[in-house]
A and B are shown apart, each in its own frame.
Chain A
Protein backbone atom coordinates (compact mmCIF):
# COMPACT_ATOMS: atom_id res chain seq x y z
CA UNK A 1 0.00 0.00 0.00
CA UNK A 2 1.45 3.37 -1.01
CA UNK A 3 2.14 6.14 1.49
CA UNK A 4 -0.36 8.54 -0.12
CA UNK A 5 -3.05 5.89 0.07
CA UNK A 6 -2.30 5.30 3.74
CA UNK A 7 -2.33 9.04 4.44
CA UNK A 8 -5.60 9.47 2.60
CA UNK A 9 -7.18 6.64 4.56
CA UNK A 10 -6.21 8.45 7.77
CA UNK A 11 -7.83 11.67 6.64
CA UNK A 12 -11.02 9.92 5.51
CA UNK A 13 -11.69 7.79 8.59
CA UNK A 14 -12.83 8.90 12.04
CA UNK A 15 -10.16 9.45 14.69
CA UNK A 16 -10.33 7.89 18.15
CA UNK A 17 -11.85 10.34 20.63
CA UNK A 18 -9.80 9.63 23.78
CA UNK A 19 -6.33 10.38 22.34
CA UNK A 20 -7.91 13.30 20.47
CA UNK A 21 -9.17 14.94 23.67
CA UNK A 22 -5.79 14.46 25.34
CA UNK A 23 -4.09 15.98 22.28
CA UNK A 24 -6.44 18.97 22.59
CA UNK A 25 -5.41 19.35 26.23
CA UNK A 26 -1.72 19.31 25.31
CA UNK A 27 -2.24 21.72 22.41
CA UNK A 28 -4.17 24.15 24.62
CA UNK A 29 -1.21 24.23 27.02
CA UNK A 30 1.22 25.13 24.23
CA UNK A 31 -1.30 27.61 22.86
CA UNK A 32 -1.25 29.33 26.25
CA UNK A 33 2.52 29.13 26.54
CA UNK A 34 3.25 30.51 23.08
CA UNK A 35 0.53 33.13 22.68
CA UNK A 36 -0.31 33.96 26.32
CA UNK A 37 -4.01 33.59 25.50
CA UNK A 38 -6.54 30.84 26.08
CA UNK A 39 -8.37 28.40 23.86
CA UNK A 40 -11.95 29.68 24.02
CA UNK A 41 -14.65 30.48 21.51
CA UNK A 42 -17.63 32.05 23.30
CA UNK A 43 -15.81 35.33 23.99
CA UNK A 44 -15.46 35.94 20.27
CA UNK A 45 -19.11 34.95 19.68
CA UNK A 46 -20.07 37.61 22.25
CA UNK A 47 -18.06 40.17 20.31
CA UNK A 48 -19.92 39.14 17.14
CA UNK A 49 -23.15 39.95 18.99
CA UNK A 50 -21.65 43.33 19.90
CA UNK A 51 -20.70 44.04 16.28
CA UNK A 52 -24.23 43.13 15.15
CA UNK A 53 -25.66 45.58 17.69
CA UNK A 54 -23.20 48.26 16.50
CA UNK A 55 -24.23 47.70 12.88
CA UNK A 56 -27.85 48.19 13.95
CA UNK A 57 -26.89 51.59 15.35
CA UNK A 58 -26.79 50.61 19.06
CA UNK A 59 -24.12 52.41 21.07
CA UNK A 60 -22.40 49.69 23.12
CA UNK A 61 -19.48 51.81 24.35
CA UNK A 62 -20.93 51.96 27.88
CA UNK A 63 -21.87 48.25 28.08
CA UNK A 64 -19.57 46.90 30.79
CA UNK A 65 -19.40 43.35 29.44
CA UNK A 66 -18.21 44.40 26.00
CA UNK A 67 -15.53 46.50 27.68
CA UNK A 68 -14.34 43.42 29.60
CA UNK A 69 -14.26 41.42 26.35
CA UNK A 70 -12.49 44.17 24.38
CA UNK A 71 -14.26 45.08 21.17
CA UNK A 72 -11.23 46.55 19.40
CA UNK A 73 -10.62 45.42 15.82
CA UNK A 74 -12.48 42.60 14.09
CA UNK A 75 -12.28 38.86 13.50
CA UNK A 76 -9.28 39.34 11.22
CA UNK A 77 -7.21 41.35 13.69
CA UNK A 78 -8.09 39.67 17.02
CA UNK A 79 -6.25 36.57 18.22
CA UNK A 80 -9.55 34.81 19.11
CA UNK A 81 -10.96 35.85 15.74
CA UNK A 82 -8.22 34.32 13.59
CA UNK A 83 -8.06 31.26 15.86
CA UNK A 84 -11.75 30.66 15.06
CA UNK A 85 -11.11 31.19 11.33
CA UNK A 86 -8.38 28.54 11.66
CA UNK A 87 -10.82 26.26 13.48
CA UNK A 88 -13.38 26.61 10.71
CA UNK A 89 -10.62 25.86 8.17
CA UNK A 90 -9.69 22.66 10.00
CA UNK A 91 -13.35 21.71 10.40
CA UNK A 92 -14.18 22.28 6.71
CA UNK A 93 -11.17 20.18 5.69
CA UNK A 94 -12.09 17.36 8.10
CA UNK A 95 -15.71 17.37 6.90
CA UNK A 96 -14.77 17.25 3.22
CA UNK A 97 -12.02 14.66 3.67
CA UNK A 98 -14.35 12.38 5.60
CA UNK A 99 -17.24 12.91 3.14
CA UNK A 100 -19.52 14.10 5.93
CA UNK A 101 -21.09 17.07 4.13
CA UNK A 102 -24.85 16.74 3.82
CA UNK A 103 -27.66 19.27 4.08
CA UNK A 104 -29.95 18.06 6.87
CA UNK A 105 -33.13 19.77 8.00
CA UNK A 106 -34.37 19.38 11.59
CA UNK A 107 -36.53 16.28 12.15
CA UNK A 108 -39.44 18.19 13.69
CA UNK A 109 -40.57 21.59 14.89
CA UNK A 110 -39.79 20.59 18.48
CA UNK A 111 -36.11 20.23 17.56
CA UNK A 112 -36.05 23.78 16.13
CA UNK A 113 -37.36 25.18 19.43
CA UNK A 114 -34.89 23.00 21.32
CA UNK A 115 -31.99 24.30 19.22
CA UNK A 116 -32.96 27.95 19.58
CA UNK A 117 -34.07 28.03 23.23
CA UNK A 118 -31.34 25.63 24.40
CA UNK A 119 -28.79 27.66 22.43
CA UNK A 120 -29.93 30.91 24.06
CA UNK A 121 -29.86 29.42 27.59
CA UNK A 122 -26.39 27.92 26.97
CA UNK A 123 -25.04 31.14 25.45
CA UNK A 124 -26.36 33.20 28.37
CA UNK A 125 -25.08 30.73 31.00
CA UNK A 126 -21.67 30.37 29.40
CA UNK A 127 -21.00 34.08 29.43
CA UNK A 128 -22.47 34.56 32.91
CA UNK A 129 -19.95 31.95 34.11
CA UNK A 130 -17.16 33.65 32.11
CA UNK A 131 -16.73 31.00 29.42
CA UNK A 132 -18.15 27.73 28.16
CA UNK A 133 -16.78 24.28 28.88
CA UNK A 134 -13.64 25.03 26.84
CA UNK A 135 -12.84 27.97 29.10
CA UNK A 136 -13.51 25.89 32.21
CA UNK A 137 -12.15 22.47 31.26
CA UNK A 138 -9.19 23.49 29.12
CA UNK A 139 -8.42 26.93 30.54
CA UNK A 140 -9.93 27.54 34.00
CA UNK A 141 -9.22 24.26 35.79
CA UNK A 142 -5.67 23.73 34.45
CA UNK A 143 -5.02 27.41 35.29
CA UNK A 144 -6.02 26.84 38.92
CA UNK A 145 -8.95 29.29 38.85
CA UNK A 146 -11.50 28.18 41.47
CA UNK A 147 -14.36 29.64 39.42
CA UNK A 148 -13.89 26.90 36.81
CA UNK A 149 -14.48 24.19 39.42
CA UNK A 150 -17.72 25.85 40.54
CA UNK A 151 -18.76 26.17 36.91
CA UNK A 152 -17.93 22.53 36.08
CA UNK A 153 -19.73 21.03 39.08
CA UNK A 154 -22.80 23.22 38.47
CA UNK A 155 -22.65 22.27 34.79
CA UNK A 156 -22.84 18.55 35.65
CA UNK A 157 -25.93 19.27 37.81
CA UNK A 158 -27.44 21.31 34.95
CA UNK A 159 -26.71 18.47 32.51
CA UNK A 160 -28.50 16.03 34.84
CA UNK A 161 -31.66 18.16 34.86
CA UNK A 162 -31.35 18.70 31.13
CA UNK A 163 -31.33 14.92 30.67
CA UNK A 164 -34.43 14.51 32.87
CA UNK A 165 -36.18 17.29 30.94
CA UNK A 166 -35.36 16.04 27.43
CA UNK A 167 -36.45 12.52 28.33
CA UNK A 168 -40.05 13.76 28.63
CA UNK A 169 -42.33 12.21 26.03
CA UNK A 170 -42.63 15.50 24.16
CA UNK A 171 -38.97 15.40 23.10
CA UNK A 172 -38.66 11.72 22.27
CA UNK A 173 -37.94 10.73 18.69
CA UNK A 174 -41.05 9.71 16.75
CA UNK A 175 -39.09 7.56 14.29
CA UNK A 176 -40.06 3.88 14.30
CA UNK A 177 -38.12 0.77 13.39
CA UNK A 178 -39.24 -0.83 10.09
CA UNK A 179 -39.30 -4.54 9.33
CA UNK A 180 -37.73 -5.19 5.93
CA UNK A 181 -38.41 -8.26 3.84
CA UNK A 182 -35.68 -7.77 1.26
CA UNK A 183 -32.58 -5.65 1.31
CA UNK A 184 -33.61 -2.39 -0.31
CA UNK A 185 -30.30 -0.71 -0.97
CA UNK A 186 -30.18 2.80 0.44
CA UNK A 187 -29.14 5.50 -1.97
CA UNK A 188 -25.88 6.76 -0.58
CA UNK A 189 -24.06 9.93 -1.38
CA UNK A 190 -20.75 8.46 -2.50
CA UNK A 191 -20.04 9.81 -5.97
CA UNK A 192 -19.11 13.31 -4.91
CA UNK A 193 -16.67 12.07 -2.23
CA UNK A 194 -13.62 12.25 -4.48
CA UNK A 195 -14.21 15.87 -5.47
CA UNK A 196 -14.87 16.75 -1.83
CA UNK A 197 -11.55 15.24 -0.75
CA UNK A 198 -9.53 17.41 -3.14
CA UNK A 199 -11.51 20.47 -2.11
CA UNK A 200 -10.77 19.70 1.55
CA UNK A 201 -7.05 19.58 0.79
CA UNK A 202 -7.29 22.95 -0.96
CA UNK A 203 -9.09 24.57 2.01
CA UNK A 204 -6.57 23.18 4.52
CA UNK A 205 -3.61 24.30 2.39
CA UNK A 206 -5.08 27.81 2.06
CA UNK A 207 -5.46 28.16 5.83
CA UNK A 208 -1.85 27.04 6.38
CA UNK A 209 -0.58 29.41 3.68
CA UNK A 210 -2.65 32.26 5.20
CA UNK A 211 -1.19 31.57 8.67
CA UNK A 212 2.38 31.36 7.33
CA UNK A 213 1.81 34.58 5.39
CA UNK A 214 0.76 36.31 8.64
CA UNK A 215 3.86 35.02 10.43
CA UNK A 216 6.55 35.55 7.81
CA UNK A 217 5.31 38.42 5.63
CA UNK A 218 2.96 40.55 7.75
CA UNK A 219 4.92 40.03 10.95
CA UNK A 220 1.77 39.22 12.94
CA UNK A 221 3.36 36.17 14.51
CA UNK A 222 0.74 35.81 17.23
CA UNK A 223 -2.16 35.92 14.76
CA UNK A 224 -0.52 33.39 12.48
CA UNK A 225 0.27 31.01 15.31
CA UNK A 226 -3.29 31.34 16.63
CA UNK A 227 -4.61 30.44 13.19
CA UNK A 228 -2.35 27.35 13.00
CA UNK A 229 -3.49 26.22 16.44
CA UNK A 230 -7.10 26.90 15.47
CA UNK A 231 -6.78 24.72 12.37
CA UNK A 232 -5.43 21.88 14.52
CA UNK A 233 -8.19 22.32 17.14
CA UNK A 234 -10.85 22.34 14.40
CA UNK A 235 -9.38 19.37 12.56
CA UNK A 236 -9.21 17.29 15.73
CA UNK A 237 -12.71 18.07 17.09
CA UNK A 238 -14.29 17.34 13.71
CA UNK A 239 -12.26 14.21 12.83
CA UNK A 240 -12.78 12.66 16.25
CA UNK A 241 -16.33 14.08 16.58
CA UNK A 242 -15.51 15.51 19.99
CA UNK A 243 -18.71 16.45 21.77
CA UNK A 244 -18.24 17.90 25.24
CA UNK A 245 -22.02 17.99 25.68
CA UNK A 246 -22.19 14.23 25.32
CA UNK A 247 -19.50 13.69 27.97
CA UNK A 248 -21.72 14.08 31.02
CA UNK A 249 -25.11 13.85 29.25
CA UNK A 250 -24.53 10.31 28.01
CA UNK A 251 -23.07 9.28 31.33
CA UNK A 252 -26.61 9.76 32.67
CA UNK A 253 -28.50 8.54 29.56
CA UNK A 254 -26.66 5.34 28.59
CA UNK A 255 -23.95 5.06 31.24
CA UNK A 256 -21.16 5.74 28.76
CA UNK A 257 -18.11 7.35 30.39
CA UNK A 258 -15.56 7.33 27.57
CA UNK A 259 -15.67 11.06 26.87
CA UNK A 260 -15.93 12.27 30.47
CA UNK A 261 -13.00 10.05 31.51
CA UNK A 262 -10.98 11.39 28.55
CA UNK A 263 -11.72 14.97 29.60
CA UNK A 264 -10.48 14.38 33.16
CA UNK A 265 -7.29 12.76 31.84
CA UNK A 266 -6.78 15.68 29.43
CA UNK A 267 -7.22 18.12 32.32
CA UNK A 268 -4.72 16.19 34.43
CA UNK A 269 -2.22 16.36 31.56
CA UNK A 270 -2.76 20.06 30.89
CA UNK A 271 -2.67 20.98 34.60
CA UNK A 272 1.02 20.08 34.94
CA UNK A 273 1.79 21.76 31.60
CA UNK A 274 0.12 25.04 32.53
CA UNK A 275 1.75 24.82 35.97
CA UNK A 276 5.19 24.77 34.39
CA UNK A 277 4.43 27.93 32.39
CA UNK A 278 3.00 29.71 35.44
CA UNK A 279 6.15 28.82 37.42
CA UNK A 280 8.29 30.58 34.81
CA UNK A 281 6.15 33.66 35.01
CA UNK A 282 3.26 33.46 32.54
CA UNK A 283 0.15 34.96 34.15
CA UNK A 284 -2.84 32.64 34.51
CA UNK A 285 -6.41 33.81 33.85
CA UNK A 286 -8.29 33.92 37.14
CA UNK A 287 -11.98 34.92 37.19
CA UNK A 288 -14.44 35.87 39.95
CA UNK A 289 -15.60 32.84 41.92
CA UNK A 290 -19.08 34.21 42.59
CA UNK A 291 -22.63 32.86 42.30
CA UNK A 292 -22.42 33.81 38.60
CA UNK A 293 -20.27 30.74 37.92
CA UNK A 294 -22.74 28.41 39.67
CA UNK A 295 -25.87 29.88 38.07
CA UNK A 296 -24.08 30.19 34.72
CA UNK A 297 -22.74 26.64 34.89
CA UNK A 298 -26.14 25.15 35.72
CA UNK A 299 -27.88 27.13 32.94
CA UNK A 300 -25.12 26.18 30.51
CA UNK A 301 -25.35 22.47 31.37
CA UNK A 302 -29.13 22.50 31.00
CA UNK A 303 -28.99 24.51 27.78
CA UNK A 304 -26.42 22.37 25.97
CA UNK A 305 -28.43 19.20 26.61
CA UNK A 306 -31.67 20.80 25.39
CA UNK A 307 -29.88 22.19 22.31
CA UNK A 308 -27.89 18.99 21.66
CA UNK A 309 -24.53 20.71 21.42
CA UNK A 310 -22.26 23.25 23.05
CA UNK A 311 -20.35 26.22 21.76
CA UNK A 312 -17.59 24.30 20.06
CA UNK A 313 -19.76 21.31 19.14
CA UNK A 314 -22.15 23.31 17.00
CA UNK A 315 -19.25 24.65 14.93
CA UNK A 316 -18.34 21.41 13.17
CA UNK A 317 -21.93 20.21 12.96
CA UNK A 318 -23.00 23.47 11.35
CA UNK A 319 -20.24 23.01 8.77
CA UNK A 320 -21.37 19.41 8.12
CA UNK A 321 -24.70 20.87 7.00
CA UNK A 322 -26.76 20.11 10.11
CA UNK A 323 -29.12 23.12 10.02
CA UNK A 324 -30.18 22.27 13.58
CA UNK A 325 -26.79 23.55 14.71
CA UNK A 326 -26.94 26.72 12.65
CA UNK A 327 -29.88 27.57 14.90
CA UNK A 328 -27.92 26.55 18.04
CA UNK A 329 -25.11 28.90 16.96
CA UNK A 330 -27.52 31.78 16.43
CA UNK A 331 -29.08 31.00 19.83
CA UNK A 332 -25.63 31.13 21.47
CA UNK A 333 -24.89 34.57 20.05
CA UNK A 334 -28.37 35.83 21.12
CA UNK A 335 -27.90 34.39 24.64
CA UNK A 336 -24.42 35.92 25.00
CA UNK A 337 -25.73 39.29 23.83
CA UNK A 338 -28.65 39.12 26.32
CA UNK A 339 -26.14 38.50 29.10
CA UNK A 340 -24.10 41.52 27.98
CA UNK A 341 -27.35 43.55 28.09
CA UNK A 342 -28.13 42.69 31.74
CA UNK A 343 -24.51 42.40 32.92
CA UNK A 344 -24.14 45.92 34.35
CA UNK A 345 -27.21 45.41 36.55
CA UNK A 346 -26.32 41.98 37.92
CA UNK A 347 -22.51 41.92 37.85
CA UNK A 348 -21.84 43.71 41.17
CA UNK A 349 -24.17 41.30 42.99
CA UNK A 350 -23.22 37.97 41.42
CA UNK A 351 -19.72 38.46 40.04
CA UNK A 352 -17.44 41.46 40.32
CA UNK A 353 -17.76 41.89 44.10
CA UNK A 354 -16.57 38.30 44.63
CA UNK A 355 -12.91 37.36 44.92
CA UNK A 356 -10.81 35.92 42.12
CA UNK A 357 -9.49 32.75 43.70
CA UNK A 358 -6.19 31.38 42.44
CA UNK A 359 -5.60 27.95 43.98
CA UNK A 360 -1.83 28.47 43.65
CA UNK A 361 -2.12 31.52 45.91
CA UNK A 362 -4.65 30.01 48.32
CA UNK A 363 -2.65 26.83 48.97
CA UNK A 364 0.82 27.84 47.82
CA UNK A 365 2.26 26.70 44.46
CA UNK A 366 2.70 23.01 45.18
CA UNK A 367 -0.24 22.88 47.59
CA UNK A 368 -2.47 24.29 44.85
CA UNK A 369 -1.10 21.80 42.35
CA UNK A 370 -1.81 18.94 44.72
CA UNK A 371 -5.29 20.28 45.52
CA UNK A 372 -6.15 20.51 41.82
CA UNK A 373 -5.09 16.89 41.28
CA UNK A 374 -7.11 15.84 44.32
CA UNK A 375 -10.22 17.49 42.87
CA UNK A 376 -9.57 15.88 39.47
CA UNK A 377 -9.27 12.50 41.15
CA UNK A 378 -12.56 13.04 43.00
CA UNK A 379 -14.23 14.05 39.73
CA UNK A 380 -12.91 10.86 38.13
CA UNK A 381 -14.33 8.81 41.03
CA UNK A 382 -17.70 10.57 40.62
CA UNK A 383 -17.76 9.58 36.94
CA UNK A 384 -16.99 5.94 37.79
CA UNK A 385 -19.71 6.01 40.46
CA UNK A 386 -22.39 7.36 38.08
CA UNK A 387 -21.36 4.77 35.49
CA UNK A 388 -21.53 1.99 38.08
CA UNK A 389 -25.00 3.10 39.20
CA UNK A 390 -26.18 2.87 35.61
CA UNK A 391 -24.74 -0.66 35.20
CA UNK A 392 -26.41 -1.78 38.40
CA UNK A 393 -29.75 -0.37 37.25
CA UNK A 394 -29.33 -2.13 33.91
CA UNK A 395 -28.53 -5.44 35.58
CA UNK A 396 -31.56 -5.12 37.87
CA UNK A 397 -33.80 -4.45 34.85
CA UNK A 398 -32.46 -7.45 32.94
CA UNK A 399 -32.84 -9.62 36.00
CA UNK A 400 -36.46 -8.51 36.43
CA UNK A 401 -37.21 -9.72 32.89
Chain B
Protein backbone atom coordinates (compact mmCIF):
# COMPACT_ATOMS: atom_id res chain seq x y z
CA UNK B 1 0.00 0.00 0.00
CA UNK B 2 2.69 2.42 1.10
CA UNK B 3 4.35 2.21 -2.32
CA UNK B 4 1.25 3.43 -4.14
CA UNK B 5 1.10 6.70 -2.22
CA UNK B 6 2.40 9.56 -4.37
CA UNK B 7 4.89 11.97 -2.83
CA UNK B 8 3.07 15.22 -2.14
CA UNK B 9 4.56 18.68 -2.66
CA UNK B 10 1.92 20.43 -0.58
CA UNK B 11 -0.11 19.48 2.45
CA UNK B 12 -3.46 20.74 3.70
CA UNK B 13 -4.00 19.46 7.22
CA UNK B 14 -7.70 19.99 7.92
CA UNK B 15 -7.80 17.87 11.06
CA UNK B 16 -10.32 19.11 13.67
CA UNK B 17 -12.34 21.03 11.05
CA UNK B 18 -15.79 19.52 10.35
CA UNK B 19 -17.31 19.10 6.88
CA UNK B 20 -17.85 20.96 4.58
CA UNK B 21 -14.68 22.98 5.36
CA UNK B 22 -12.19 20.27 4.24
CA UNK B 23 -13.84 20.06 0.80
CA UNK B 24 -14.11 23.85 0.39
CA UNK B 25 -10.44 24.37 1.36
CA UNK B 26 -9.31 21.55 -0.93
CA UNK B 27 -10.87 23.22 -3.96
CA UNK B 28 -9.44 26.61 -2.94
CA UNK B 29 -5.97 25.10 -2.46
CA UNK B 30 -6.05 23.29 -5.82
CA UNK B 31 -6.68 26.59 -7.59
CA UNK B 32 -3.31 27.86 -6.30
CA UNK B 33 -1.29 24.82 -7.34
CA UNK B 34 0.96 24.35 -10.37
CA UNK B 35 0.51 21.51 -12.86
CA UNK B 36 3.15 19.24 -11.33
CA UNK B 37 2.22 19.82 -7.69
CA UNK B 38 0.59 17.09 -5.66
CA UNK B 39 -1.55 18.03 -2.70
CA UNK B 40 -2.12 15.82 0.32
CA UNK B 41 -5.32 16.64 2.21
CA UNK B 42 -5.75 15.21 5.69
CA UNK B 43 -9.26 15.24 7.17
CA UNK B 44 -10.56 13.64 10.34
CA UNK B 45 -14.14 14.31 9.24
CA UNK B 46 -14.81 10.80 7.85
CA UNK B 47 -17.79 12.16 5.96
CA UNK B 48 -15.29 13.90 3.66
CA UNK B 49 -15.13 10.51 1.87
CA UNK B 50 -18.49 11.42 0.32
CA UNK B 51 -17.53 14.92 -0.72
CA UNK B 52 -13.81 15.51 -1.41
CA UNK B 53 -13.42 12.82 -4.15
CA UNK B 54 -16.57 13.97 -6.00
CA UNK B 55 -15.90 17.70 -5.62
CA UNK B 56 -12.30 17.36 -6.81
CA UNK B 57 -13.39 15.60 -10.01
CA UNK B 58 -16.38 17.88 -10.50
CA UNK B 59 -14.07 20.90 -10.48
CA UNK B 60 -11.85 19.30 -13.12
CA UNK B 61 -8.99 18.11 -10.90
CA UNK B 62 -7.50 14.63 -10.44
CA UNK B 63 -7.85 12.31 -7.49
CA UNK B 64 -4.72 10.14 -7.26
CA UNK B 65 -5.16 8.11 -4.11
CA UNK B 66 -7.21 7.76 -0.91
CA UNK B 67 -5.92 6.23 2.32
CA UNK B 68 -8.84 5.66 4.69
CA UNK B 69 -7.26 3.08 6.96
CA UNK B 70 -6.91 5.41 9.93
CA UNK B 71 -9.32 7.86 11.64
CA UNK B 72 -7.85 10.69 9.57
CA UNK B 73 -8.49 10.10 5.87
CA UNK B 74 -5.75 11.18 3.46
CA UNK B 75 -6.48 12.33 -0.07
CA UNK B 76 -3.85 12.87 -2.77
CA UNK B 77 -5.00 15.23 -5.47
CA UNK B 78 -3.53 17.30 -8.29
CA UNK B 79 -4.61 19.82 -10.86
- A interface residue numbers (CB < 8 A to B): 12-14, 17, 98-102, 104-107, 111, 172-173, 175, 177-180, 183, 186, 188-190, 193, 240-241, 243, 246, 249-250, 253-256, 258-259, 308-309, 317, 320-322, 324-325, 394, 398
Contact = CB atoms under 8 A, between A and B. Distances in A.
A99 B10 contact: no
- Find the residue from A13, A180, A189 having the highest chain B CB count within 10 A: A180
8 contacts: A99-B69, A100-B46, A102-B44, A175-B12, A178-B12, A243-B50, A246-B19, A256-B58
A5 B70 CA distance: 18
A256 B54 contact: yes
A104 B16 contact: yes
A114 to B, nearest CB: 9
A256 B49 CA distance: 13
A177 B10 contact: yes
B55 A254 contact: yes
A175 B20 contact: no
- Find the residue from B12, B32, B74 having the highest chain A CB count within 10 A: B12
Given A173-B24, A241-B46, A254-B58, A180 B9 contact: yes
A190 B69 contact: yes
A178 B51 contact: no
B8 A246 contact: no
Nearest to A105: B16
Interface residues of B, number: 42
A177 B12 CA distance: 4
Nearest to A182: B7
Interface string B10-32: 11111111111101110101001
Contact of A320 (B42, B46, B70): B46
Query: Mostly helix, strand, loop or mixed at chain A's interface?
Result: loop
B45 to A, nearest CB: 8
Contacts of A98: 46
A254 to B, nearest CB: 5
A104 B45 CA distance: 10
A258 B70 contact: no
Contact of B27 (A104, A254, A317): A254
A317 B44 CA distance: 11
B8 A193 contact: no
B19 A175 contact: no
- Find the residue from B16, B25, B40, B68 having the highest chain A CB count within 10 A: B16
Given A254-B27, A256-B54, A394-B59, A179 B19 contact: no
B17 A173 contact: yes
- Find the residue from A100, A106, A240 having the highest chain B CB count within 10 A: A100
Contacts of B24: 173, 253-254
B49 A241 contact: yes
Contacts of A104: 15-16, 44
Closest 7 CB pairs of A and B: A102-B71, A107-B16, A188-B70, A241-B47, A173-B21, A177-B29, A308-B18
Interface string B53-65: 0110011100000
A189 B70 contact: yes
- Find the residue from B17, B20, B44 having the highest chain A CB count within 10 A: B20
B27 to A, nearest CB: 7
Nearest to A243: B47
Contacts of A99: 69-71
A258 B32 contact: no
B39 to A, nearest CB: 7
A241 B23 contact: no
A240 B13 CA distance: 23
Contact of A250 (B16, B51, B59, B74): B51
A373 to B, nearest CB: 27
